[in-house]
Every structure is written in structure tokens, then in C-alpha cells.
Amino acid sequence: MYTFKTIIYLTIFLNLSNLAAQDHEFSGLLKLNDSLMISYKVALNENDGVLEGYSVTDMGGAHETKSLVKGRYNKEANTLSFSEYGIVYTKSPVDTQDFCYVNFIGQVRDLENRIKGEFRGKFSDGGTCINGELMLMNTERTKELADKLDRKIKKKKKYKKYAEKGVSVKKAMDTISQSQLKSNESLSFFSDNKSYTLILDDAGDADGDRVTISLNGDIILRNQEIAKEPVELNIRVDEFPSTLQISALNSGSIAPNTINIQLQDGDKLLKTLSNLEAGEHSQLIIRKPK
């Protein structure tokens, strides 16, 4: 049985109208051959037909993974190809050699509408893994459609019970697309640099959220209140893997303890949100790429 989140994505996909698009970011689903559906986003920067960017698989889920992407776009032939080729970060516990990279070649009308077609899954050594179908829509178009669907939910009597329960397509989309670290979850960030910048700020209203941050067991930030003004730390890593642990000391005045976390090594950037109750913790693990 499909979840409510999956139904939302399918509804957006099937009901898309001709709305203006602003960029080359697409959101939607990967449908695997066994009918399993996984959320998927790809952001593409195009320069004279050359594509560079990133993808995020299982957005907001237990196996969320961000990969680098490269490809080609031929405007005259209306063809698009792109391939994932490296892991930026992942929540998945599997070894990076076991990751199945999405490879897509297909026809598109342009880079401002939708991408749909079969994809091939390949391991880093070129071996075949899981194949399936890719169904993506321009992110701005899906957001505008989500607004339309929310207005429809509020106006139509048959949807009244959903509106009263606070059901919102747009909120569900935001939840799915937001990277989050919950209690006891670990996120692996792949980098071989030794110097990093860690930036923390409150994800909502400044409500007194307090955290302690440790690096390989040594406290580097103790009982720090996180407000709207970012807290910035310069971190040096001398061993791999190295573990940054985020511990919530309270839930603030508005539970839970939610903090925006950015970790940057100069080239790569990790953005996530810690979502913890008092006494809970989560981890960022810095690993060398294979």
C-alpha cells in the first residue's frame, strides 16, 4: 500500500498544469522494477550543453543519499543524459562500493518541465544493479501545483475533513524534501579534507534550544544556546572516520530541539536539520571517499 507521501507525489505528477518554471531543479520519484517508489530530486546546472549538479535519493528518509551528477543536454535533439558518480553524504550504512548509481538517457521537451523515462542502475565498477522508471517534475511547478491542491482541499466539501486535520500537500512536500537527523541516526559525509567549517543556527523561532557538540568524544562546544545568529566553528580532522555528535540538552520552549546544521569542506556542503528531544543525539561521520 502506498503511503500518503507517495500519493502526494503521484497526485502532483498526474495533475501538473502549464505553470512557469524558474530553474533546473526537478523532484519526483524513482519507480523500481519491483514497484517500490523512492523520492528523488536532481538539480542541474547547464552550460553550453554540459550538465553538472547533484541528486538526492530518499529525501528525508532513513537512506537519504546525495550524489554528484554530470551529463549532457542537446537542445536541438531534445535529448538529456545524466549519471550519478560520487557520494557526498548518506544515511545508509552500506559501503560506498555497493551504491547503485542512477544513469538516465531520454527525450525531454526542455529543461523547464518534466523528465520521464527508464533509468539504468550501475555500481561504481559499471556492473548492473537496479533498473526502473524515473518520473520528475520541475520543482517550482510542483510547488505551485501544491498550492492549488491545498486551496482545493480547503474549498471542496469532500476534502473538508482533511483540511480540518491540517493536511497540506505543500507541508508534506517540505517535510519530504528536508534532510533531517533524528535520534540515534548517523549521516556519513565523504571528504578527504582536514579542515571544516561547522555552522549552527535555530531552525525555527529562537526558543532556547541548547546543544553540546563533540568530535571523536572530545567536547568542542558545551551547553551552547543556538539562536538565529549562527554559531560557527572551525574544525580540524586528523583521522578518518571522525564523528561529530550533536546532543540535545533540552527541547527549548517549543519542542523538539531543531537546529540547522551546515558542514563544509570548501568544495562540498552538507545541510541537514537535527530533530531531537532532550537527551537524544545524532551523528555526522566524516569518511574518506573510496
For the chain, 290 residues long, the average pLDDT of each consecutive 10-residue run is 45 37 77 87 94 93 93 95 95 79 94 92 92 91 65 64 54 58 94 96 90 98 96 96 97 93 91 95 93
Residue 208 counted as domain residue: yes
Structural domains counted in the chain = 2
Domain assignment of residue 153, yes or no: no
**What's 63's domain CATH number?**
2.40.128
Secondary structure percentages of the chain, helix, strand, coil, to 5: 15, 50, 35
Are residues 216 and 110 both part of a single domain?
no
pLDDT, position 134: 95
Same domain, 10 and 126: yes
Whole-prediction pTM: 0.79
pLDDT for position 142: 65
| CATH code for the domain in which residue 263 is found | 2.60.60
Q: How far is CA 127 from CA 55, 64, 150, 160, 240, in A?
A: 20, 22, 44, 50, 28
- Confidence (pLDDT) at 60: 81
From residue 79, give the alpha-carbon distance in Å to each of 31, 105, 284.
21, 7, 38
Asked if residue 251 belongs to a domain, the reply is yes
Q: What pLDDT sits at residue 111?
A: 86
Alpha-carbon distance of 212 to 259, in angstroms, equals 12
Q: Are residues 16 and 77 in the same domain?
A: yes
Query: Domain check: are 197 and 126 in the same one?
Result: no
Residue 140: what pLDDT?
Answer: 77
Is residue 166 situated within a structural domain?
no
Same domain, 200 and 274: yes
For residues 33 and 99, membership in a common domain is answered with yes
Going by C-beta distance under 8 Å and a sequence separation of 6 or more, which residues neighbour residue 195?
234, 235, 236, 237, 265, 266
Regarding whether 257 and 191 lie in a shared domain, the answer is yes
Place of cell 549552527: 200
- Domain of 189 in residue numbering reads as 180-287
For residues 233 and 213, is the Cβ–Cβ distance under 8 A?
yes
Q: Tell me: do 201 and 80 sit in the same domain.
A: no
115 in a structural domain: yes
Same domain, 9 and 125: yes
